[in-house]
Amino acid sequence: MRYLPHTDTDRKAMLDAIGVASIDDLFTDVPEAARLDGLIDLPTKQGELQVERAMAAMSNQNVSASSVPFFVGAGAYKHHIPATVDHLIQRSEFLTAYTPYQPEISQGTLQTLFEFQTQVAQLTGMDVANASMYDGSTACAEAVMMAARVTKRDKAVMAGTVHPHYVEASKTLAKYSSVSIEVTEPELDSLDKVIAAIDENTACVVVQTPDIFGQLHDLREISRIAHEKGALVIAAFTEVVALGLTEAPGAMGADIAVGEGQSIGVGLNFGGPYVGLFASKDDRRFIRQMPGRLAGETVDADGRRGFVLTLSTREQHIRRDKATSNICTNSGLCALAFTIHMTLLGEKGFRQMAQLSHENACALADALDTVEGVDVVNDAFFNEFAVRLPGNAAEIVEKLAKVGVLGGVPASRLYPGQFEDILLVAATEVNTEADIEIFAKALGGVL
């Protein structure tokens, strides 16, 4: 039964009240190319049993990440998540908790957010972290807008090797502001073009390490040059586990660190929900302009330790153009999963996890390098790298999938019309020697 309670008379009254002639007039801002022309190609009605069968048949066409050798990365990574994480986040006091407006009844929620912030600050080498963003791309976009507010400049320079989804999210957010975004041509081995684009009008420069091709970058020089010209440095990352072995952004002179926290505590989940990480140096200008929520530590009237939302509330963030940010919520449950997993690991476990991921990636690179016609592009990497194939990478990936190997992400999927022979592959601690052997053998067979 269709639930459409409004009659034609009801709809006409509502349209008259807002001053439009038809429902279609409400969608004038949506480009014609993005609108549906007629009904979706689906059966108009079916029973529950028929719908269940149809959906099951479609889902069975998917190949899950756990069912075959899996080497896909490019912003979403398969790591082992202990069962404890899922068990704890499903406790009712966590699963059903709402925004902690009233600290007197929200101490548990506020404390978990505070612990999350502490972990993110330590990982990134920063002083202050917020209580999460939607994902890495929105964290990056918000950092660009924050830098523009802090510096009172309107130009952002983004390296072409920053994840294209992060670039597009930043462009979307900047579209209706005065901020212009300049994206350099992607280079596999250099940041020279990024450095050349920094001038006295630059609010910030955004660099990713490891970048989308897995290349590692020392940000000290670019930080020095940017700071000399009054620009902020935003260090982005898509694989938070890399921080278990690589130098923290804060130690390399970055002002703001943003990235994706999905690898810790949060499964692949068909692409979401994820958890965006956002941290900065301890600068009053930064803290006042930081988007989203900030949980702080205090003491109550009796001197007991307590936690509160600091500086701003949700109401500040729903004032549209006057708001610091229009992200007026956070990925609270995913942030909790992150915190639980990180707590279970501890520093030693986290570093071991990173070490295993790196070692497996090195083994994978060695194995693929023996396949005739395949060349590993990277000089250095953490757990993800690019390989050059003797053919179209997108077509080769499809052939690999047909023989039961999910072999990576074609770079041309992220850069349409470019890098058509480049394949991005990733390994984590879950990949076995057998997985790597199967991948190399399958790739050789396909080629």
Q: Where along the chain do its domains lie?
A: 83-340, 346-446
The most distant pair of C-alpha atoms in the chain lies apart, rounded to whole Å, by: 72
* Residue 277, burial from CB neighbour count under 10 angstroms (0-12, 13-18, 19+): buried
pTM for the predicted model, two decimal places: 0.89
353 touches 241 (CB < 8 A): yes
81 touches 66 (CB < 8 A): no
pLDDT tens-digit map of 79-96: 999 999 999 999 998 888
The amino acid sitting at 142 is: E
Supply the pLDDT for residue 56. Answer: 94
> 158: which strand partners?
183, 206
- Structure tokens of 14? 């509502």
- Structure tokens of 85? 């994480």
Percentages helix, strand, coil for the chain, rounded to the nearest 5? 45, 15, 45
Supply the pLDDT for residue 349. Answer: 98
Other CB atoms within a 10 A radius of the CB of residue 291 amount to 25
Q: Which residues of the chain have pLDDT under 50?
A: 1
Domain at 346-446, CATH homologous superfamily: Aspartate Aminotransferase, domain 1 (3.90.1150.10)
Supply the pLDDT for residue 1. Answer: 43
CATH architecture of 83-340: 3-Layer(aba) Sandwich (3.40)
Supply the pLDDT for residue 316. Answer: 58
Other CB atoms within a 10 A radius of the CB of residue 141 amount to 29
Supply the pLDDT for residue 44. Answer: 78
Supply the pLDDT for residue 2. Answer: 57
- Structure tokens of 163? 């994840």
Supply the pLDDT for residue 329. Answer: 67
The residue whose two tokens read 């007197």 is 104
pLDDT tens-digit map of 21-58: 999 899 999 998 998 888 888 877 888 999 999 999 99
| Three-class DSSP category at 57 | helix
